[in-house]
A and B are shown apart, each in its own frame.
Chain A
Amino acid sequence: MKLLSSNQPSMATTPADSPDRSIDDFAEQMNEAEKNKYTKGRKLGEGTYANVYLGTLKSDPTKLVAIKKIKIQTDYKEGMAPDAIRELKHLQELSHPNIISLLSVFSSKDQNLNLVLEFLPLGDLEMLIKDTKNIRYGAGDIKAWMGMLSRGIYFCHANFVLHRDIKPNNLLIADDGEVKLADFGLARSFADPYRPMTSNVITRWYRPPELLFGTQHYSGAVDIWSVGLVFAELVLRMPYIAGDTEVHQVNLLTQAVGTPTEENWPGVSKLPAYTVPLPHTPVREKDYYNQMFGTAGIVGVDLLMQMLVLDPSKRITAKEVLNHDWWYTDPKPTRNKNLPRKGGGEEAVVADLKRRPGVVEDERTAKIARKLDFGNMA
């Protein structure tokens, strides 16, 4: 943890970490200094996982920040909540225009962890997708948003981080229109061979088939599937595969994309949770996609199809996505300042930040507790 504090955004450690008395004091001082850089403003909102406050820089009160104060969680009495650690650990390493920036971290008196994040005032992509009445956008706008999302994901993967919770409401919009990947509460770095990872990640609607089938060894391909579904959702303006339960999700997935079988995905039937509904649906052809996602254009549909390949080893990678022809075909991606936007204001920001990672929040699931299975991790 000592190394942590020498990192680029100066991080303060929690005092409890170091046994040595003098270092303890030093850490305490650093924490205090970090804390005093910001003025905590009014509370913007409260969630189950965190409270969000509007903050300002003491040296320049016009600079706004969002301070996400992680609540002490009853499930994790010893130490900090894993969500918070994941978010902190990866955000502090990743500095990219399409990833929300973590400005600082400090602990406040009751050992609450406070993450100081960039304040992104214009809501998220989900709000724009859902507001079919007031917001209209076209192929150029979709391309611009997808471009920013793909850059963000490529940067994560290039730095060996899996995001594992890509969905429209985790894609926040800065006041210049830039889309930023947020909520790293489920992120982790690429696993070593033979080291299992949990398959219970990624919000259900955006979860790829390999995770639904319970694989414990996967790659960046899981994020690409989510990106593909965000793409589809941007075109359709509603979630493409929105299952109520995991079984339902698999059923819808086979209808929408095709049934994963030994022919199109060798070895799939040996995955732990492989069950598919009968009769099998053949994998959807180009015509089907062209009809459904015509707005994206033929080249765009080609990219979408490559993102939604069932077999993860044949799925397009983040780098290949950025090398695709779609970015160079007409229409050009819209400039950020001309992108449609919504005066979402701070409520949306708050809603985004205080949400728990990895869950679909609607009436149906609102009461079901989130289940993250850390038990089977060796």
Chain B
Amino acid sequence: MNSLAMSRLNINSKHGEDPSNDICPVCKSNRYLNPSLQFLINPECYHKMCSTCVDRIFTSGPAACPVPHCGKTLRKKGFHKAFFESLSIEREVDIRRKVASVFNRRQEEFESLRLFNDYLEDVENLVFDLVEGRGKVRQAAEKKLEQYRLGNMKEIEENERTEKEEAEMEKLRETNQKEAARRRRLANQQEELEEKAVVAKAARDTLEQLANDEGHAEEITKRAERIILKGAGPRRRQFEKPVEANGSADGSLTIRGLKKKEAPTKDMPYDPFGGLNVAPTKYVLQKDYESQWLAGVKKNENNHLTGGYSLPEYYGRAMFEAFSGLSVFIEDEKEADPKQSPSAAVATEAAVLAVGVMMEIDDVF
């Protein structure tokens, strides 16, 4: 008996026998008298009232909430039907939606997953303050939210746009996939029909041949089988290929769609040299140098010049090698910084010297 009573109680509460679900707290009108009773709420204060009350009180403009001690000014426009039965959940969802539209940073904007998670935690704390906080805590949280919104307006809008684009991309991808699947199905059907036709034709041919030819009956049937098999192979392969192609094409589409626009960086003018300057500092490279040794090259001996041998390149290298290492005093650097290994500059110079040495053994190749 006891358990039966319990279960009935449960059922009752589920069905909302709770009087607040049937009686408007403002005008006390009853669902029994007015079956189309509909409750509306306003996210300003989440006080529930029936649609008749909303019409009655707020049609002529904003007015105070009729619930005693509330006093919030409400507008008719703000009223809507509650989606959740529990108003506290309704409120939390509304708050979350509002916060999410402001704190819409994306993972790609963060340097590491760790930092992104930290950010999510901060946002969750803020949500908690807004939902559960009372008085000052809540006010502070609200202020924080508003400040962030004003401070990051541009980025928020940009992320919103990205999200929208992504949603569209996703939709497009889905429709594409559906279309591809439909085409595949059609192709499949076509394929089956064709195959049947081939088999039927082969059977007809075999019968005809058996009737007309004087060839061996078994041989004719075997030949027919071969023809059917031969036809089926290539057709099957042909049809498998595009499926594969579709798959990969879709894959790349998603990747492109997911490509993120990061926060705009400063637009620097393009420098083709990438900041590299190798102009010599210790000497000025001349266009031409007089040298007995180079006379042969200048006279195009052995097709030096025809083959493109470049004297300026040679001048550049010869001068560079002649001057490399000058005014570098390894002793000084050692004294200045005794503990550390030779600085990068020294190492570079050493490398330069090494090049010189290796030039000598270059002949091998």
- Which residues of A come within 8 Å of B, CB atoms? 3-4, 6-8, 82, 85-86, 89, 92-93, 96-98, 133-135, 147, 150-151, 154-155, 157-160, 188-196, 210, 215-222, 265-268, 270-272, 311-313, 315, 322-324, 327-328, 332-333, 337-338, 343, 374, 377-378
Contacts and interface: CB of A to CB of B under 8 A. Distances in A.
A193 B347 contact: no
A147 B249 contact: no
B320 A267 contact: no
B234 interface: no
A217 B304 contact: yes
A160 B347 contact: no
A131 to B, nearest CB: 9
A97 B359 CA distance: 25
A7 B303 contact: no
B331 to A, nearest CB: 16
26 contacts: A8-B348, A8-B350, A82-B364, A86-B365, A93-B351, A96-B276, A97-B274, A98-B274, A133-B245, A134-B252, A147-B270, A147-B274, A151-B274, A155-B276, A160-B317, A160-B320, A188-B365, A189-B355, A190-B317, A192-B314, A220-B313, A267-B300, A267-B303, A267-B305, A271-B303, A333-B270
Nearest to A326: B272
B284 interface: no
Interface stretch (B124-132, B164-172, B289-297): B289-297
B137 interface: no
Nearest to A79: B364
B152 interface: no
Nearest to A342: B252
Interface of B is mostly: helix
Nearest to A158: B278
Given A133-B249, A134-B252, A271 B262 contact: no
B310 interface: yes
A157 B313 contact: yes
Contacts of A150: 272
Contacts of B348: 8
A314 to B, nearest CB: 9
Contacts of A154: 273, 276
Contacts of B351: 7-8, 92-93
B310 A221 contact: yes
Contact of B350 (A7, A188, A210, A323): A7
Contacts of A324: 272
Contacts of B362: 188-189
A210 B308 contact: yes
A313 B310 contact: yes
Interface in B233-281: 245, 248-249, 251-252, 255, 259, 262, 270, 272-274, 276, 278
Contacts of B303: 215-217, 267, 270-272
Interface string B353-365: 1110111001111
Contacts of B60: none
A48 B259 CA distance: 38
Contact of A89 (B317, B353, B358, B363): B358
A333 B248 CA distance: 28
Could you tell me the dominant secondary structure of chain A's interface residues?
loop
A315 B308 contact: yes
Contact of A134 (B249, B309, B313): B249
B207 to A, nearest CB: 47
* Top 8 A-B pairs, shortest CB-CB distance: A312-B308, A215-B307, A219-B310, A267-B306, A217-B309, A322-B272, A134-B252, A327-B272
Interface size class on chain B is 35 or more
Contact of B363 (A6, A85, A157, A378): A378
A219 B357 CA distance: 22
Contact of B306 (A8, A222, A266, A322): A266
A94 B90 CA distance: 64
Contact of A221 (B308, B344, B354, B363): B308
Contacts of A93: 351, 354-355
Given A6-B350, A267-B300, A210 B313 contact: no
Nearest to B291: A193
B308 A322 contact: no
Contacts of B249: 133-134
Given A222-B308, A267-B305, A194 B353 contact: no
Given A6-B347, A134-B249, A267-B300, 6 more contacts: A93-B354, A159-B278, A191-B309, A194-B296, A194-B302, A333-B270
Output the residue of B249, B262, B273, B297 with the most chain A CB within 10 A. B273
Contacts of A221: 308, 310
Contacts of B363: 195, 377-378
A193 B297 contact: yes
A155 B342 CA distance: 25
Contacts of B344: 8
